[in-house]
A and B are shown apart, each in its own frame.
Chain A
């Protein structure tokens, strides 16, 4: 009898304690593409989130932490469903991740309208930087246009003209070409949009050869980049027409492309050879734990967790204090893998953009190295359309 009441008492006590303990757990819903051809990008992101948690002793802002991963399969509708599930079922405090701009445009408003933080770690569609900006939306990546703006500037400086521009036909593809054209002063021969996820580019490559441009500018992230560059080089075009790109040659596609990518230029805000303490620790610990070199997708996902950590720490674990967390995030006061940066009024980073080139590294394998900075403290082109004031 005594034993039984003891057990009942213990149960009651346990039930009473649980809700309090749950409130002290930071829940982060991390949505990315884990299956299909883009799954490799999701792997870079997920591994980086795990490394960030390791570096924080598995505690974000000193609180117990649970990360719930979701696989959007590169589909906006799946992404939105996942976000709904994370908000309603798991009651997450932060939604983070998202690779694709079309998925982001479906997910971000869902999350912010529910009063939850959306921490972008890749996609930066122009709508979210401008008219659709929101106090609960922050990104640790970039606004889509910024990177091709840097490439447009560099190619203009090189006095290149008669350029053939190509991108997949979706939100980010349009942004990338718009950004490129904003700073590129030469003539553009043709703008071509291909199907998202297309594998064979032979028809487009035949068109390029027929137009004979002076240079080609492309945006083909992930698996699309491997295919395009491989076929471009196979067609013998690399020697004839130099290739310039954004988000096409990176640590996700290089292991497959290897020497095929040699000599191709990219612009980017980050590179594994960026010399700062946080980045070098990230790179070396990542290689030690996972056995491969992480990409910018990983670096900005790592930063996303660190940003959340800084925010939760600033409000001393009071997750209800959203104003306090917004104020903390706006300072970007954490050790980012890109070095120190600031936030613009629309919560997009103001940061440097570098020119990178694929070269043979010390070990003989192809790797990307920073050549020079194209832009310093570069703001995106949409922040004036954002109504936020702070």
Chain B
């Protein structure tokens, strides 16, 4: 039972990392109608920058702050230089262009930092374990990731639902021309939204850095799962992204942990050995297929425009 709880925490931690990625991607897609495959590259850049800034400054928090600011800046720059021209084009052009950006960023990172994975170590105060319940100790860092992820979810909800900026963002998503006609600088608004999405991806990346290997191409590995999250949650919906990310995180982690023993109760051990891991890695895609079958718009579709 304690093991199930620990695995649920693992699932939650994976889920909030996915959420930070999915939130940025879904914001950009839902509001700007831009398919940004290079979202994973911003995640990768966030991880690289945090690692580098941490090494330079010697302070983990300073590294995090600098990396966040830098990915925000990079996002804004990217929007102005490359993506602005793509809004009016169809999705295929956007996919091609942003796929090109993936190749560009992977190569750039490989040139600057080399192909070998970077190894980020944690400061001592983040390295230990905390008791969650009697008998369950959980890594401090992963607990911090969960807390930060959930806090960002609340902040983001507050921003979109309760502030003037959020109101403009929602209005811009429904009718761009009308908002512009009311005298709002929609171009600046889009730049800000994209920067915010980039910073969220950077945050996910820099938090994932000490857990995963920081290496060229790390963004694409997670991007596929993030797309699954967005499709399940409903494109453009922050709330959908949060719920779907946590469902996907849980299903993936619990599947890996418990599917094989469960199968072994009614299959032969060798059949469970081969079917378990194969099925566990398919589980989230099966989940997506089932959701699409019953709710093609996702779990929390954004209301019709």
Which residues in A have some Cβ–Cβ distance to B below 8 Å? 35-37, 39-40, 43, 169, 191-195, 197, 199-200, 202-204, 206-207, 210, 223, 226-227, 230-231, 234-236, 255-258
Total A-B contacts with CB atoms under 8 angstroms apart: 86
Residue of B nearest to A224 (CB): B213
CB–CB B117/A202 < 8 A: no
Task: Write out the residue numbers on chain B whose beta carbons fall within 8 Å of the beta carbon of A37.
Answer: 117, 213, 215, 217-218, 221
Task: Write out the residue numbers on chain A whose beta carbons fall within 8 Å of the beta carbon of B253.
Answer: 203
Residue of B nearest to A236 (CB): B129
Task: Write out the residue numbers on chain B whose beta carbons fall within 8 Å of the beta carbon of A39.
Answer: 110, 115, 216
CB–CB B217/A227 < 8 A: no
Task: Write out the residue numbers on chain B whose beta carbons fall within 8 Å of the beta carbon of A169.
Answer: 277-278, 281
CB–CB B273/A193 < 8 A: yes
CB–CB B115/A40 < 8 A: yes
Q: Is B256 an interface residue (CB 8 A)?
A: yes
A206's contact among B3, B212, B218, B277, by CB below 8 Å, is which?
B3
Task: Write out the residue numbers on chain A whose beta carbons fall within 8 Å of the beta carbon of B129.
Answer: 236
CB–CB A206/B7 < 8 A: yes
Judged by DSSP, the binding face of B is: helix
Name, among A37, A40, A191, A257, the residue most crowded by chain B CB atoms within 10 Å (CB to CB).
Answer: A37
CB–CB B213/A226 < 8 A: yes
Min distance, Cβ A171 to any Cβ of chain B, angstroms: 12
Residue of B nearest to A34 (CB): B115
Q: Is B100 an interface residue (CB 8 A)?
A: no
Judged by DSSP, the binding face of A is: helix
Q: Is B194 an interface residue (CB 8 A)?
A: no
Residue of A nearest to B137 (CB): A236
Measured in the bound complex, the distance between the Cα atoms of B256 and A202 in whole Å is: 11
Residue of B nearest to A35 (CB): B217
* Nearest 3 A/B pairs, CB to CB: A193-B277, A256-B119, A169-B277
Q: Is B142 an interface residue (CB 8 A)?
A: yes
CB–CB A206/B6 < 8 A: yes
A-B contact pairs, 7 of them (CB 8 A): A36-B216, A199-B213, A202-B139, A206-B7, A207-B257, A226-B119, A234-B127
Min distance, Cβ A163 to any Cβ of chain B, angstroms: 16
Contacts known (A169-B278, A223-B213); A199 close to B3, Cβ less than 8 A? no
Measured in the bound complex, the distance between the Cα atoms of B116 and A255 in whole Å is: 9
Q: Is B211 an interface residue (CB 8 A)?
A: yes
CB–CB A235/B139 < 8 A: yes
Knowing that A223-B213, A234-B139, A257-B119 are A-B contacts, what are 15 other residue pairs whose CB atoms are under 8 Å apart, sorted by A's residue number?
A37-B217, A39-B115, A192-B260, A193-B273, A193-B276, A195-B277, A199-B211, A199-B212, A202-B10, A202-B142, A203-B253, A207-B257, A210-B6, A223-B117, A235-B139
Measured in the bound complex, the distance between the Cα atoms of B280 and A210 in whole Å is: 20
Q: Is B118 an interface residue (CB 8 A)?
A: yes
Task: Write out the residue numbers on chain A whose beta carbons fall within 8 Å of the beta carbon of B127.
Answer: 234
Measured in the bound complex, the distance between the Cα atoms of B217 and A36 in whole Å is: 6
Task: Write out the residue numbers on chain A whose beta carbons fall within 8 Å of the beta carbon of B217.
Answer: 35-37
Q: Is B14 an interface residue (CB 8 A)?
A: yes
Task: Write out the residue numbers on chain A whose beta carbons fall within 8 Å of the beta carbon of B116.
Answer: 40, 255-256
Measured in the bound complex, the distance between the Cα atoms of B72 and A172 in whole Å is: 43
B10's contact among A35, A203, A236, by CB below 8 Å, is which?
A203
Task: Write out the residue numbers on chain A whose beta carbons fall within 8 Å of the beta carbon of B257.
Answer: 203-204, 206-207
- Interface 0/1 of B124-168, CB less than 8 Å to A: 000101000000000100100000000000000000000000000
Contact residues, B204-234 vs A (CB, 8 A): 211-213, 215-218, 221
CB–CB A206/B221 < 8 A: no
CB–CB A258/B119 < 8 A: yes
CB–CB B213/A194 < 8 A: no
Min distance, Cβ A41 to any Cβ of chain B, angstroms: 10
Name, among B2, B106, B276, B277, the residue most crowded by chain A CB atoms within 10 Å (CB to CB).
Answer: B277
Contact residues, B17-48 vs A (CB, 8 A): none
Task: Write out the residue numbers on chain A whose beta carbons fall within 8 Å of the beta carbon of B276.
Answer: 193
Residue of B nearest to A43 (CB): B115
Measured in the bound complex, the distance between the Cα atoms of B11 and A235 in whole Å is: 16
Name, among B2, B13, B106, B139, the residue most crowded by chain A CB atoms within 10 Å (CB to CB).
Answer: B139
CB–CB B7/A203 < 8 A: yes
Task: Write out the residue numbers on chain A whose beta carbons fall within 8 Å of the beta carbon of B2.
Answer: 210
- Interface 0/1 of B56-67, CB less than 8 Å to A: 000000000000
Min distance, Cβ B207 to any Cβ of chain A, angstroms: 12
CB–CB A199/B277 < 8 A: no
Residue of A nearest to B11 (CB): A203
Task: Write out the residue numbers on chain A whose beta carbons fall within 8 Å of the beta carbon of B280.
Answer: 195
Residue of A nearest to B220 (CB): A36
Min distance, Cβ A184 to any Cβ of chain B, angstroms: 17
Contacts known (A194-B256, A194-B277); A40 close to B10, Cβ less than 8 A? no
Task: Write out the residue numbers on chain A whose beta carbons fall within 8 Å of the beta carbon of B122.
Answer: 234
Name, among A197, A199, A236, the residue most crowded by chain B CB atoms within 10 Å (CB to CB).
Answer: A199
Task: Write out the residue numbers on chain B whose beta carbons fall within 8 Å of the beta carbon of A200.
Answer: 14, 211-212
Measured in the bound complex, the distance between the Cα atoms of B216 and A235 in whole Å is: 26
Measured in the bound complex, the distance between the Cα atoms of B278 and A257 in whole Å is: 29
Residue of B nearest to A191 (CB): B273
Task: Write out the residue numbers on chain B whose beta carbons fall within 8 Å of the beta carbon of A256.
Answer: 116-119, 213
- Interface 0/1 of B88-118, CB less than 8 Å to A: 0000000000000000001000100001111
Measured in the bound complex, the distance between the Cα atoms of B140 and A236 in whole Å is: 12
Task: Write out the residue numbers on chain A whose beta carbons fall within 8 Å of the beta carbon of B14.
Answer: 200
Min distance, Cβ B177 to any Cβ of chain A, angstroms: 43
Measured in the bound complex, the distance between the Cα atoms of B221 and A35 in whole Å is: 13
Min distance, Cβ A115 to any Cβ of chain B, angstroms: 35
Task: Write out the residue numbers on chain A whose beta carbons fall within 8 Å of the beta carbon of B256.
Answer: 194, 203-204
Min distance, Cβ A200 to any Cβ of chain B, angstroms: 6
Measured in the bound complex, the distance between the Cα atoms of B3 and A204 in whole Å is: 11
Task: Write out the residue numbers on chain B whose beta carbons fall within 8 Å of the beta carbon of A194.
Answer: 256, 277
Task: Write out the residue numbers on chain B whose beta carbons fall within 8 Å of the beta carbon of A192.
Answer: 260, 277
